[in-house]
């Protein structure tokens, strides 16, 4: 797993796969809550900030989080901000 946080853009990224196949090989989907009742504002804002990335076989490989400082715990953001490796890319 690879994580990254850019505090200037307030964007976090979590990659579950061993490597990212590249933008052309993924499907992006916005997350939507399944419940019919309104969610509390903080939870609704977090859902609005999520983009899910799926590989060509429909497996979830990554999550992008906008406005990450309001959606993720500070401990995660600090650890992810310290990531110095570039995002793993597929060699294909």
What pLDDT sits at residue 92? 56
pLDDT in tens, 23-73: 777 888 888 778 778 888 888 888 889 999 998 889 899 999 999 999 999
Choice between 2 and 23, residue whose per-residue pLDDT is larger = 2
Based on DSSP, count helices (H) and strands (E) in the chain, helices before strands: 3, 5
Model pTM greater than 0.75?
Answer: yes
The b/e string for 14-39 (b: 16+ C-beta within 10 A; e otherwise) is bbebeebeeeeebeeeeeeeeeeeee
pLDDT (average), residues 63-89 = 90
Q: Which of 9-13, 42-46, 82-86 comes out lowest in average pLDDT?
A: 82-86
Beta strands in 1-59 (DSSP E): 2-6, 11-15, 27-30, 50-54
Contact 71/1 with Cβ under 8 angstroms?
A: no
What pLDDT sits at residue 91? 60
Residue ranges per structural domain of the chain: 2-81
């Amino acid at each position: 797993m690879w994580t990254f946080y850019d505090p200037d853009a307030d964007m976090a990224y979590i990659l579950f796969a061993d490597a990212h196949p590249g933008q052309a090989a993924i499907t992006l989907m916005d997350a939507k809550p399944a419940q019919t009742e309104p969610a509390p504002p903080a939870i609704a804002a977090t859902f609005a900030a999520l983009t899910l990335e799926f590989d060509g076989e429909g497996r979830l490989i990554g999550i992008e989080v906008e406005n990450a400082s309001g959606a993720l715990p500070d401990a995660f953001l600090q650890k992810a901000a310290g990531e110095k490796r570039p995002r793993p890319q597929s060699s294909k």
